[in-house]
Amino acid sequence: VKHLYKLYYWPGIQGRGEFVRLALEDAGVPYLDVARQRGKGHGVSELHRLMRGRALTIPPFAPPFLGVGRLVIAQTANILHYLAPRHGLVPSAEAARLHAHQLQLTIADLATEGHDTHHPISSTLYYEEQQEEARRRAPLFRGVRLPLFLGYFERVLQRQGGRWLLGTRCSYVDLSMFQVLAWLDYAFPIAMKGLAPRIPRLLSLRKRVAARPRIAAYLASPRRLPFNEDDLFRHYPALDDR
Shortest reach from residue 38's CB to ligand GSH, in Å = 21
Identify whether the C-beta of residue 104 lies closer than 8 Å to the C-beta of residue 176: yes
Binding of ligand GSH at residue 106 (CB under 6 A)? no
Identify whether the C-beta of residue 6 lies closer than 8 Å to the C-beta of residue 31: yes
Amino acid at 59: P
Identify whether the C-beta of residue 125 lies closer than 8 Å to the C-beta of residue 117: no
Shortest reach from residue 5's CB to ligand GSH, in Å = 16
Nearer CB in complex with ligand GSH: 100/108: 108
Nearer CB in complex with ligand GSH: 81/137: 81
Nearer CB in complex with ligand GSH: 76/179: 76
What does R_g of the chain's alpha carbons equal in angstroms? Answer: 18
Question: Of residues 7, 8, 63, 138, which one binds ligand GSH by CB under 6 A?
Answer: 63
Binding of ligand GSH at residue 55 (CB under 6 A)? no
Question: Of residues 5, 8, 16, 149, which one binds ligand GSH by CB under 6 A?
Answer: 16
Closest by CA position to 22, among listed 158, 146, 183, 152: 183
Q: Please list, in sequence order, all residues whose beta carbon lies within 8 angstroms of the beta carbon of residue 46, skipping any fewer than 6 positions away.
A: 8, 34, 35
Binding of ligand GSH at residue 15 (CB under 6 A)? yes
Binding of ligand GSH at residue 75 (CB under 6 A)? yes
Binding of ligand GSH at residue 125 (CB under 6 A)? no
Identify whether the C-beta of residue 26 lies closer than 8 Å to the C-beta of residue 223: no
Shortest reach from residue 78's CB to ligand GSH, in Å = 8
What H or E segment, with its residue span, contains residue 47?
helix 44-52
Shortest reach from residue 211's CB to ligand GSH, in Å = 27
Cross-sheet strand order for the sheet of 5-8: 31-33, 5-8, 65-68, 71-74
Shortest reach from residue 170's CB to ligand GSH, in Å = 21
Binding of ligand GSH at residue 120 (CB under 6 A)? no
Give the count of beta carbons closer than 10 Å to the beta carbon of residue 148. 12
Question: Of residues 55, 62, 148, 210, which one binds ligand GSH by CB under 6 A?
Answer: 62
**Contact residues: ligand GSH, CB under 6 A:** 15-16, 62-64, 75-76, 108
